[in-house]
Amino acid sequence: MATPAQWIEGARLRTLPMALAPVVAGSAAAQALHSFDLLRAVLALLVALLLQIGVNYANDYSDGIKGTDDVRIGPLRLTGSGAARPGEVKAAALLCFALAAVAGALLVLLSRQWWFIPVGLSAVLAAWGYTGGRTPYGYRGLGDVFVFVYFGLVAVLGTTLTQAGTLNLEAWIGALSTGLIACALLMANNIRDLPGDREVGKRTLAVRLGDPLARVVFTAEIAVALLLVLFLVPYNPWMLIVLLLVPLALPPVATVLRVQDRRQLVPVLKQCGVLNVGWAVLFLLAVLLRQWL
């Protein structure tokens, strides 16, 4: 039986910044419209965090029973290591999805954004279908597309809409930027796992692109995510403070471009998470400075 510490490790807490960042960015966009709502922001955050933990457990279960995690470089996987029975990991994933659905239902009731019901259901299906089912899209190189859609567009735009009822340029830039950084984290993860994924037939985008090009794409995703904020500078010069993150982005980019020992890519995942949260926080600060000064 897995210990509590192993269950926490299996939840992959280092990925949670990818759930936090879009909610902060979407709330910042709502604040730019003078429509920030704390309760709705908290509910959106609960949905995002629970879905993220749920998809982590779901991936653990699905990859474990397929044998994908039998040989790996990264942190512990509950199913693949035998620390927990597959059924237990599956149940943990389903519990997280159910709790996310409850929080999402409350958010819909408060905001009356009824369109979010089918979107929320599609997010749960996408979370399970990444590595689960007979034809998991994560094994066909489509994981990056779904991450961009759900951790960028849906998370940020949904957060803004449930608070403000409308969208602005800040919401779109926030969605694109946080989505790209989330894709960069996934790309770094898949570059790390590339040899093993190729061997078991898991055709991630990194596998399809090949090692050298995948590393270039990672760099481009980070660069574009940071530079997109320049579109907002004519309306809010304070947005330039987001570029203070450039020095923070250089170490993970340098690591991905240079290192050949894939074990050295593990810290890049945490660095991308910090970068995404940093982007969202500075984005929010720029909005507040524009309104206060």
DSSP string of the chain?
Answer: ---HHHHHHHTTGGGTHHHHHHHHHHHHHHHHTT---HHHHHHHHHHHHHHHHHHHHHHHHHHHHHTTTSS-SSS--HHHHTSS-HHHHHHHHHHHHHHHHHHHHHHHHHHT-TTHHHHHHHHHHHHHHTT-SSS-GGGGT-HHHHHHIIIIIIIIIHHHHHHHSS--HHHHHHHHHHHHHHHHHHHHHHHHTHHHHHHHT---HHHHH-HHHHHHHHHHHHHHHHHGGGGGTTT-GGGGGGGGGHHHHHHHHHHHHH---GGGGHHHHHHHHHHHHHHHHHHHHHHHHHHH-
105-109, 126-130, 270-274: the lowest-pLDDT one: 126-130
Q: Give the model confidence (pLDDT) of 159-170 as tens digits.
A: 999 999 999 999
Instruction: State the pLDDT confidence band at 72, using cuts at 50, 70 and 90.
Output: low
pLDDT at position 228:
97
Q: Tell me which of 137 and 72 has the higher pLDDT.
A: 137
pLDDT at position 73:
57
Q: Is the model's pLDDT at 140 over the cut of 90?
A: no
Q: What's the whole-number average pLDDT of the chain?
A: 90
Q: Tell me which of 237 and 68 has the higher pLDDT.
A: 237
30-39, 50-59, 175-184, 238-247: the lowest-pLDDT one: 50-59
Average pLDDT estimate for 65-73: 62
pLDDT at position 199:
84
pLDDT at position 68:
63
pLDDT at position 168:
97
Q: Is the model's pLDDT at 25 over the cut of 80?
A: yes
Average pLDDT estimate for 184-192: 93
Percent of the chain with pLDDT over 90: 65
Looking at this protein, which amino acid is placed at residue 14? R
Q: Is the model's pLDDT at 157 over the cut of 70?
A: yes
Instruction: State the pLDDT confidence band at 56, using cuts at 50, 70 and 90.
Output: confident
Q: Is the model's pLDDT at 233 over the cut of 90?
A: yes
Greatest mean pLDDT among 29-33, 50-54, 92-96: 29-33
